[in-house]
Amino acid sequence: MAISIGKLWQPAIILVALVLSIPILTIGGFVFEPSGDNWEHLKQTVLPEYLRNSALLVLGVSIGTLSIGVSTAWLTAMCRFPGKKLFVWLLLLPLAMPAYIIAYTYTGLFDFAGPVQTQLREWTGWGYGDYYFPEIRSLGGAISMLSLVLYPYVYLLARAAFLEQSICVLEVSRTLGCGAWCSFYRVALPLARPAIVAGLSLALMETLADYGTVSYFGLGVFTTGIFRTWFGMGDSVAAAKMAALLLMFVFTLVVIERVSRKQAKYHHTTNKYTQLPEYQLLGFRALLAFFICLLPVLFGFLVPAGQLTSWALLTYQEMLNESFFRLTVNTLLLGLSAAFLSVLLALFLAYGKRMLGGRSVLVSIRIAAIGYAIPGTVVAVGIIIPFAWLDNTIDDFMRQLFDYSTGLLLSGSLFAVMFAYLVRFLAVSLQTVESGLGKIKPSMDDAARSLGYRPRETLFKVHMPLMKGSLLTALLIVFVDVMKELPATLILRPFNFNTLAVRAFELASDERLADSSTAALMIVVVGLLPVIYLSKSISQSRAGQSNHE
C-alpha cells in the first residue's frame, strides 16, 4: 500500500513545484521576448535611473543594516552592560514594522508641518526657508527607513553565529596576544562572515522587493518602474521584461545566501560549547553600548509606534466604522486561508521529503520554496499574465462553443491573490514545518511501531502532539506575512476588495496619515506576535547553556 501512495506522491510534489514556479517561469520567459518600442524608450530614459537608484539603495541598506546589525549582535552576544538582556529581544521589534508604515510615519514626523520641525521653529523663531532640514522623502530617507526595519535579519544571524562559535578559538587568539578588539576583527568576524552575509542577502531581498516605501517617497526603482510601466503605460511586455531584470539581481542574492549558509556550516569550529565569558563593560563604554543598542530600537520601533498610537488616538473614533470592520474581516479571512493552505502544502511536501527522499523530490521542494526571494510585484506580474491568457482562452472557447462569456475567472479573483501568497510564503511555512518534523527522529516512529501502534496511530499519537507547536508557529508567521504584504495584494486583489495593508497604504498615499494610523497600528500590533515568539525561542536556545533536546 505504501508503494501505491508513494507512486502518486512523488509526481504530485513535482506538480506542486511546477505550478508554484509558473510566475518565475513566465517572467523568465520574457527575457527572450522581442522588445517593443516602449522597452527601447524605457531603456534610454528611465531604466538607467532605476538601475542607479536600486544600486544605491542596495549599497546604502547594506551599510546601514551591517553597521547596526553586527554591532548590536556583538554587544548583546559578547558583552555585559546595563539593559543587555532586554535589548536581546527589544532589538527584534522593528521586524514588526512594515517598511511602508515606518516610511510614512517618519514623513509625518519630519514634514514641514510635522511636530519636529514645528517644535524647532518654536524654539528658534525661524520661519519657512530660514533653515535647512533634510528631506525624508529621498533616496537617503528610503535607505534609513529600510535599514531601520531590516537590520534585525543581520542582527539575528550574526548574533547566532557569535554565540555558536567556540569560545576556544577566541581564547586561543587571546593567548596569542590578540586583544578583545583584535579578536573580534581577526577571529570572530571572519568566522561569522557567512552568517552575516546570509542575513544581509535576506535584508537586500526585502529591499529589492520593497514597493511601499519607494513608491511613497516617489523614487524610481525597479518595483515602482514595473508598476508605472504596467499601469501607466499599459505595457505588460515591458513590465515583465523589467521584472525579469529585477529577478536576475534577486537570484544573485539567492545564490549568495545559499552559498553563505553552506559555508556557515563549515565554519562551525566545534560542537563543544562552554558558557561564553562576557566582557564586562563599565562607565563610558557601558553607556556607549547602551546607546548603540537603544537607538535602533528607538527609531526603528518606539518612535514610529508612538506616533502611530498618538494619531490613532486622535482618529480612531471616526475610523472604526463598518468599513474598517469589513477590512479587518477581509484581512483575517485572507490571512487565515492563506496560512492554512500554505501549512497544508508544507506538510504535504515535508512528509513527502521524509518518506520518499530522492533527488527529484528534494529539487522540487527547493523550487517550490524559491518564492520567498521573489518580490511581490514580480510574483503578481508573473501570475496575472498567464492567468489573463488562460481566462481569455477559456472565454473565447466558451463564446465560440456556447456563445457565453465567462469573463475573467482567475485573474481578477481572490484565487490569484491566494496563489501569490502561496508562491511567496510557502518557504516560511515549509521551513517551520520541516524543522518541527526534524525533531521527530525516525527512531521515534519505530519505537511507536514496536510498542504496538499502527502507522496511522503513530501519526496521531506521536507526530500530532509533537508537531502542534510548529504548525501553530507556521500558521502565525504566514498569517502575519500575508497581513503585511502590500504590492502583490495591490495588483491582484479583485476590484473593490481591500485589506488593512492596502487601505493603510492608500490613505497614507492620499496624505491622510492620521487616518491611516488605525489600520497601520493594527498591522504592527499583530505583527508583534511572531516577533515575541521569536525572541522567546532565541532566548531559550542559547548555545553554551544547557539545552538538551
Q: Which residue number, 441 or 536, has a Cβ lying nearer to another protein? A: 441
At residue 220, the 3 state secondary structure works out as coil
Contact status, residue 367 vs residue 499, Cβ threshold 8 Å: no
Q: Which residue number, 444 or 529, has a Cβ lying nearer to another protein? A: 444
CB of 455 to another protein, least distance (A): 8
CB of 439 to another protein, least distance (A): 8
DSSP state string for 514-543: HHHHHHHHHHHHHHHHHHHHHHHHHHH--T
Candidates 463, 416, 413, 433; CA nearest to 344 is 433
Question: Cell triple for residue 320?
Answer: 472604526
At residue 218, the 3 state secondary structure works out as coil
- Count CB atoms within 10 A of the CB of residue 514: 21
Q: Which residue number, 128 or 548, has a Cβ lying nearer to another protein? A: 548
CB of 442 to another protein, least distance (A): 9
Binding mask 131-170 for another protein (x = CB under 8 A): ----------------------------------------
- Rounded to 5 degrees, what angle do the CA atoms 175, 177, 183 make? 85
CB of 458 to another protein, least distance (A): 9
Q: Which residue number, 44 or 548, has a Cβ lying nearer to another protein? A: 548
Q: Which residue number, 43 or 449, has a Cβ lying nearer to another protein? A: 449
CB of 541 to another protein, least distance (A): 12
Place of cell 535589548: 87
- Count CB atoms within 10 A of the CB of residue 342: 29
Q: Which residue number, 35 or 537, has a Cβ lying nearer to another protein? A: 537
Residue type present at position 496 = N
Contact status, residue 94 vs residue 296, Cβ threshold 8 Å: yes
Q: Which residue number, 113 or 359, has a Cβ lying nearer to another protein? A: 359
> How does DSSP classify residue 494?
P
Q: Which residue number, 285 or 454, has a Cβ lying nearer to another protein? A: 454
Contact status, residue 139 vs residue 60, Cβ threshold 8 Å: yes
Name which position in 265, 272, 359, 548 contacts another protein (CB under 8 A). 548
At residue 136, the 3 state secondary structure works out as coil
What span, in angstroms and rounded, lies between the C-alpha atoms of 77 and 281? 13
Number of residues that bind another protein (CB under 8 A): 19
CB of 449 to another protein, least distance (A): 4
CB of 471 to another protein, least distance (A): 14
Contact status, residue 448 vs residue 457, Cβ threshold 8 Å: yes
CB of 201 to another protein, least distance (A): 34
CB of 446 to another protein, least distance (A): 6
- Count CB atoms within 10 A of the CB of residue 523: 23
CB of 370 to another protein, least distance (A): 31
Contact status, residue 210 vs residue 378, Cβ threshold 8 Å: no
Q: Which residue number, 400 or 443, has a Cβ lying nearer to another protein? A: 443
What span, in angstroms and rounded, lies between the C-alpha atoms of 508 and 32? 38
Q: Which residue number, 94 or 436, has a Cβ lying nearer to another protein? A: 436
Candidates 152, 243, 473; CA nearest to 343 is 473
CB of 144 to another protein, least distance (A): 44
Q: Which residue number, 186 or 454, has a Cβ lying nearer to another protein? A: 454
Candidates 137, 79, 153, 76; CA nearest to 103 is 137
- By CB under 8 A, the residues from 408 to 467 that bind another protein are 439, 441, 443-444, 446-454, 461-462, 465-466
Candidates 153, 164, 156, 173; CA nearest to 265 is 164
Instruction: Name the site residues for another protein (rule: CB under 8 A).
Output: 439, 441, 443-444, 446-454, 461-462, 465-466, 548-549
